[in-house]
Amino acid sequence: MALMIEAEEMAGYLDEVFPQVRGMFEIDELTEERLVMRLHVDEQHLRPGGTVSGPSMFGLADVAAYVATMARIGRQALAVTTHCSIDFMRKPAAGVDLLAEARVLKLGRTLSVTGVLLYSEGSGDPVAHASLTYSIPPARG
């Protein structure tokens, strides 16, 4: 699927619509094939033992699905997550960033479905596997 928004413009758009998480996420790669999104892990994302918290992993998967979808449909600030199913499979490594690899599996008129794998940077085994659905508001005529 062709991109309507490239990485640099998307970064600016994210800062604009989600000012409260500015600096937390970064787009490592954005192509027609996939998106790789980075969570800059710091103190606020950790649980005792240095592992990344569940809500932080959820948040990264959600932002990645949002960005991957927006890149294909253009700015739709009203698109909302309607479902997330996430399997937590391994404990994230301590002291490294978390990466999300997202693929849009379906882009319909009113729904998108995105598959996301989360990895600790430098590791090949996914720590989590998610599927997210976004509801896309009907275009206004």
Q: Give the interface with a copy of itself as residue ranges (CB under 8 A).
A: 17-20, 44, 46-48, 53-56, 58-59, 62, 80-91, 105-106, 108, 110-111, 113, 115, 117, 125-126, 129, 131, 133, 135, 138
Name which of 6 and 91 has its Cβ closer to a copy of itself: 91
CB of 71 to a copy of itself, least distance (A): 19
Q: Rounded distance, CA 105 to CA 102, Å? A: 9
Sign of the dihedral defined by the CA atoms of residues 14, 8, 133, 97, in that order: negative
3-state class of 29 per DSSP? strand
Name which of 6 and 65 has its Cβ closer to a copy of itself: 65
Name which of 32 and 125 has its Cβ closer to a copy of itself: 125
CB of 3 to a copy of itself, least distance (A): 18
Other C-beta atoms closer than 10 Å to the C-beta of 21 total: 13
Name which of 5 and 24 has its Cβ closer to a copy of itself: 24
Residue partners of 91: CB distance under 8 A and separation at least 6: 51, 127
CB of 110 to a copy of itself, least distance (A): 5
Q: Where are the alpha helices (DSSP H) in the chain?
A: 7-17, 54-73
